[in-house]
Structure 1
Amino acid sequence: MNSLTDRTSVTRRRTPLNRSQIAGFWGAWAGWTLDGMDSFIYALVLTPALTELLPRSGYAATPANVGLAGSILFALFLVGWGLSFIWGPLADRFGRTKVLAGTIFTFAIFTGLAATSHNVWELGIYRFIAGVGIGGEWALAGTYVAESWPEDRRKMGAGYLQTGYYAGFFLAAALNYTVGVHYGWRVMFLTGAVPVVVAILVLLRVKETDKWQKAEAGAARARPLREIMGPAYRRRTWVACILLTIAIIGLWAGAVYEPSAVIQLATKAGMAKNDAIRTASLATGLLSIATILGCLALPPMAERIGRKKTLAVYFAGMAIAIVGSFGWAFYLPNGLAPFIAWLFVLGFFGGNFALFSLWLPEQFETRVRATAFAFCTSFGRFVGAGVNFLLGAAVLHMHTLGVPVALTALAFVVGLFVIPFAPETKGEVLPQ
């Protein structure tokens, strides 16, 4: 009876959210959702887009050329993500909400312009600039929610926020299943221009965080990049960079190559082209639902066993799932169903990204928080771009998709040895 009373008391003591905090969260969540939708649209329309554009660019649309060009464009996109570091210092200088709206506006406009591409060069330019916008959204949305939500709710807020990106995956899959199959890849890119509306709403409806306003009013002008590289923060900055790099390699190896793998397996099973595309969309939907569940399960686990142990569980799960799906199920004679089953496991542990939305803001003070978040995520994207290019070359050289992707599981094994060097912030409040 006392236990029940205690739990009820804890529930009642949770700080209620005010209207500004609710509006701010949904603005950040919607931006992150449409960000996820935007970034995954390309993975879903990769083959039809390049099949049309390569001949217009002077290249035959062979499977090898489509695979190589796709990997190069992925790498360009990730380089754009890496350059999104510029948004962090801007947000520390001018505030979270204005710069958050700017990131959403950038990726929306240039995703829509991708629909007008006449050749692969134009598509590459549009995807590169869209990547700059997309890359900044996570850092600013995560920083905003961490600073605006009350201390007793911000941990779950990080988990809730991260579901948005994978809800975007699900939305992209649903659009591809309905719109893409019937109207083609150009219309799919046009749907990516919708977030412009969200950017306008963020500017008009979302209030700047009190923490940033107090830090801005009470401190001399900070040099955030110099600070996060200084003695106080240097170690945690580089450890976070390495851990985020590993997570990004897993995202782009597993999730982004998943539609192509499913289409290959479905075609091998005798499905027609449109049926194979629909199957890939359904598999992506399953992957997205599993990842959302992983994001929601993560904050309570991090509060119970700590940030470092939680990340170790998720990294080990990713390593096993990548090997099980791409290294084993992909090569079975009838591998479509086992591969899709493994995707659920891969998706769940892909929720490891929610930990960074929770953990990174806890490691840095307000005056440098957005810069640190943006720098750590951008570093990983630059390395991820290189890994993605190597993956494309490996696929071309080995004439198979499964083994090169399966080898990325080794990155998560390395991550298990890096995690002990990170700071444990369980039970600590967000530093001012």
Structure 2
Amino acid sequence: MSTPTPYNPDLPWYKQLSSYHWFVFFVASAAWCFDCLDQQLFILARDNAVKALSPGMDTLAQGKLSGWAMSVFVAGWATGGLIFGAVGDRIGRAKTLALTVLIYSLFTGLSSFATDMTQFMIYRALTGLGVGGVFGLAVALVADALPEFARPKALGLLQALSAIGNVTAGLCAMAVSGVDPAVSWKYLFWIGSVPAFLCIFIMLRLKEPEKWQAAKAASREVGGKAMGSYASLFGEARWRGPAILGMLLCVAAVVGLWGVGFFSNKLVAPAIAKALAAENLSPAEIAQGKQWWAAANLIVMNIGAFFGMITFSKAAHRFGRKPVFATAFIAALASTVFFYQCFDSTDDIWMSLIMGFCQLALFAGFAIYLPELFPTRLRSTGVSFCYNVGRFIAASGPVTLGQLQAYLGAKAVAALPATADAVARADAELVAFRNAACYLSGVFLLGLIALAFLPETKGRPLPED
């Protein structure tokens, strides 16, 4: 193996990396950034796609289908994380990362050609397979390839840069806001297919980290421990506890974000529509305004996310992982309840920034903390398990939100007087959605429970057998 890169405390960490270190960081960050672009394009295109592929259904039925589409995608994501995390430990991070990028790019493009909901659901599930593999692979690649002194800061920055993909998705949605919603969703999925070209660069230049090569060689020796083995991950108490507790830590944030946070557009759109209607705009102008402001909401949320993730990284480096996680979970809960109860018009768009700051700050913690719980031979497997298997549980979040909204909405509408008009019923259903989101955001408290049993890793080297 090569000599470890010496650390000079008088220089910033980023000035002490070689050109190849930066190349690895760029490829891993780009793969994750495009992955996030794909996720957000789906969020922005989902409702219009469901409407186009399920004509004749009422709004509540389409809302349930939208929730199921999200759940199918998230379940595919979880499955892909389980599969490709282990594959990455066994055959290499670089090869597997290229494969996952190719999968999610290909099936994102194919999603635009779906002619019914069945096809759409299949393509989204297959897209999820590729999407799910990227995070664990990208994090393990950077953790193993960069010097120890740069690892936590680089991983926090990698996660923060994912906000660029999210913001880009919002800008793309703004660009097509004037296009007929029945076809604009197709354009967004075509944009999501572009990252396939990244695979060429991954395959041509990216090498497997020396740490991984050494662990692979050791596994071939007599008595060597298996690479990417779930039997080993759960068969050894040293790794089993962090895997289960780390998974619960991620479940809290993933359900909160994907089951509640990323459904903020379902509040923003009708609230904005109501505000625009009060300005006596035409139905076409209101529809365009709704799409524009939904994209603006996503952009503002992810600007907040960028600063939240940078802040978490700096705070975790100074104060430790656990106290910062605890603060972030409480802030995520408070900001989510505040947003869903108080957002009412375009003047309130700043609330999206606060919620994005608090909710997505947690994900910088996962990039930093999860690799510190597992050895090289299980790093991709362990990180992917924690970050992705919880998505099987998280997949129920959108469905639960949809069902809870439908139940509370039906109850609220039934309580209205018989003379209530369509506007009153719509207002009652919107209040029901606000309350459903607030109830479900209580999942952030699960993170505090899991955190109590996990170790503090600040200042410790990456663990090995």
TM superposition score normalised by structure 2: 0.86
Q: From 130, 133, 136, give the equivalent of 2:133.
A: 136
- Show the counterpart of 2:299: 285
Call closer, same or farther: CA 1:204–1:405 in 2, change over 3 Å: same
Q: In the alignment, is the contact (CA less than 8 A) between 2:71 and 2:396 conserved in 1?
A: yes
Secondary structure, counterpart of 1:407 in structure 2 = helix
- Show the counterpart of 1:313: 327
- Show the counterpart of 1:3: none
Q: From 397, 402, 405, give the equivalent of 1:392.
A: 402
Call closer, same or farther: CA 1:92–1:9 in 2, change over 3 Å: closer
Secondary structure, counterpart of 1:232 in structure 2 = helix
Which residue type is aligned with residue 62 of structure 2? V
* Aligned mates of 1:181, 1:207 — CA distance in 2: 44
Q: Residue 78 in 1 paired to residue 91 in 2? A: no
* Aligned mates of 1:111, 1:12 — CA distance in 2: 39
Q: CA-to-partner distance for each residue in 1:217-267, whole Å, 9 max, x for gaps? A: 123250521222121112111110100000101111333212222111100
The alpha-carbon deviation at position 417 of structure 1 amounts to: 2.6
Q: In the alignment, is the contact (CA less than 8 A) between 2:107 and 2:124 conserved in 1?
A: yes
Q: From 245, 248, 272, give the equivalent of 2:251.
A: 245
Q: In the alignment, is the contact (CA less than 8 A) between 2:261 and 2:336 conserved in 1?
A: no
- Show the counterpart of 1:4: none
Q: CA-to-partner distance for each residue in 1:393-419, whole Å, 9 max, x for gaps? A: 112222232111111221112322321
Q: Residue 329 in 1 paired to residue 313 in 2? A: no
* Aligned mates of 1:408, 1:11 — CA distance in 2: 45
Quick check: 405-414 or 366-375, which moved more? 405-414
- Show the counterpart of 1:153: 150
Which residue type is aligned with residue 414 of structure 1? L
Q: In the alignment, is the contact (CA less than 8 A) between 1:266 and 1:336 conserved in 2?
A: yes
Q: In the alignment, is the contact (CA less than 8 A) between 2:250 and 2:447 conserved in 1?
A: no
Equivalences for residues 264-283 of structure 1 within 5 A: 264-271=270-277, 272-283=286-297
Q: From 117, 120, 124, give the equivalent of 1:127.
A: 124
The alpha-carbon deviation at position 13 of structure 1 amounts to: 7.4
Which residue type is aligned with residue 211 of structure 1? K
Secondary structure, counterpart of 1:151 in structure 2 = coil
Quick check: 309-318 or 264-273, which moved more? 264-273
Call closer, same or farther: CA 1:101–1:314 in 2, change over 3 Å: same
- Show the counterpart of 1:379: 389
Q: In the alignment, is the contact (CA less than 8 A) between 1:32 and 1:141 conserved in 2?
A: yes
* Aligned mates of 2:26, 2:403 — CA distance in 1: 40
| Aligned length in residues | 416
* Aligned mates of 1:258, 1:28 — CA distance in 2: 29
- Show the counterpart of 1:49: 49
Q: Residue 29 in 1 paired to residue 23 in 2? A: no
Call closer, same or farther: CA 1:130–1:13 in 2, change over 3 Å: closer
* Aligned mates of 2:398, 2:293 — CA distance in 1: 24
* Aligned mates of 2:401, 2:305 — CA distance in 1: 23
The alpha-carbon deviation at position 149 of structure 1 amounts to: 1.1
Secondary structure, counterpart of 2:237 in structure 1 = coil
Which residue type is aligned with residue 308 of structure 1? K
- Show the counterpart of 1:413: 445
Q: From 62, 86, 96, give the equivalent of 2:58.
A: 62
Quick check: 263-272 or 96-105, which moved more? 263-272
* Aligned mates of 1:181, 1:253 — CA distance in 2: 28
Which residue type is aligned with residue 92 of structure 2? G
Q: In the alignment, is the contact (CA less than 8 A) between 1:15 and 1:153 conserved in 2?
A: no
* Aligned mates of 1:403, 1:168 — CA distance in 2: 30
TM superposition score normalised by structure 1: 0.93
Q: CA-to-partner distance for each residue in 1:188-211, whole Å, 9 max, x for gaps? A: 111111010112211112121111
Secondary structure, counterpart of 2:207 in structure 1 = coil
- Show the counterpart of 1:302: 316
The alpha-carbon deviation at position 14 of structure 1 amounts to: 6.8
5+ residue gaps in structure 1?
A: 1-7
* Aligned mates of 1:153, 1:226 — CA distance in 2: 31
Secondary structure, counterpart of 1:71 in structure 2 = helix
* Aligned mates of 1:44, 1:253 — CA distance in 2: 15
Q: In the alignment, is the contact (CA less than 8 A) between 1:242 and 1:380 conserved in 2?
A: yes
Q: In the alignment, is the contact (CA less than 8 A) between 1:245 and 1:381 conserved in 2?
A: yes
Quick check: 347-356 or 12-21, which moved more? 12-21
Q: In the alignment, is the contact (CA less than 8 A) between 2:177 and 2:288 conserved in 1?
A: no
Call closer, same or farther: CA 1:33–1:239 in 2, change over 3 Å: same
Q: CA-to-partner distance for each residue in 1:364-396, whole Å, 9 max, x for gaps? A: 100111111111122210000122211111122
Q: Residue 222 in 1 paired to residue 192 in 2? A: no
The alpha-carbon deviation at position 43 of structure 1 amounts to: 1.4
The alpha-carbon deviation at position 212 of structure 1 amounts to: 0.3
The alpha-carbon deviation at position 10 of structure 1 amounts to: 2.8
Which residue type is aligned with residue 222 of structure 1? A
Which residue type is aligned with residue 145 of structure 1? V
Q: In the alignment, is the contact (CA less than 8 A) between 1:21 and 1:149 conserved in 2?
A: yes
Which residue type is aligned with residue 54 of structure 2? L
Q: Residue 360 in 1 paired to residue 370 in 2? A: yes
* Aligned mates of 1:66, 1:217 — CA distance in 2: 53
Equivalences for residues 106-125 of structure 1 within 5 A: 106-125=103-122
Quick check: 17-26 or 190-199, which moved more? 17-26
* Aligned mates of 1:103, 1:211 — CA distance in 2: 22
Which residue type is aligned with residue 174 of structure 1? L
Q: In the alignment, is the contact (CA less than 8 A) between 1:83 and 1:132 conserved in 2?
A: yes
Quick check: 180-189 or 245-254, which moved more? 180-189
Secondary structure, counterpart of 1:427 in structure 2 = coil
Quick check: 304-313 or 413-422, which moved more? 413-422
Equivalences for residues 341-360 of structure 1 within 5 A: 341-349=350-358, 350-360=360-370
- Show the counterpart of 2:422: none
Q: In the alignment, is the contact (CA less than 8 A) between 1:361 and 1:369 conserved in 2?
A: yes
Call closer, same or farther: CA 1:118–1:358 in 2, change over 3 Å: same
Larger Rg over CA atoms? 2
* Aligned mates of 1:296, 1:94 — CA distance in 2: 32
Q: In the alignment, is the contact (CA less than 8 A) between 2:78 and 2:390 conserved in 1?
A: yes
